[in-house]
Amino acid sequence: MEEKTVEQKLSRKKMYTGQVVSDKMDKTIVVQVTARTLHKLYKKYVMRSKKLKAHDEKNEAGIGDTVRIIESRPRSKEKCWRLLEIVERAK
């Protein structure tokens, strides 16, 4: 039986990239993820967004940072994502 690499294990989980809109909670950030979707009737692209709570173990991310989050086990009632990496720091 062959060993799976880290990339293969992570590939099954959902990943999103978004901006941090709040870091006021301890070890938790709120990430706003936006996506362009095509409206079925009007055939026009519409921006859809959602806010997800993610676990930030070291409290590294700040407001305005662009981060990548990955699906994880539920850590609380609403928090089932974790911070994977900080893509870009806020200026």
Examine residue 2 and state whether it is found in any structural domain, yes or no: no
Domain count, the chain: 1
Q: Which residues contact 45 (CB under 8 A, 6 or more apart)?
A: 36, 37, 38, 39
Domain span at residue 31 reads 11-88
* Per-residue confidence in pLDDT tens, the chain, 91 aa: 556 666 656 578 999 999 999 999 999 999 999 999 999 999 999 999 999 999 999 999 999 999 999 999 999 999 999 999 999 999 8
- The CATH number of residue 39's host domain is 2.40.50.140
pLDDT value, residue 91: 86
Cβ contacts of 12 within 8 Å, gap of 6 or more: none
Asked whether residue 1 is domain-assigned, the answer is no
Strands 79-88 and 28-38: unpaired
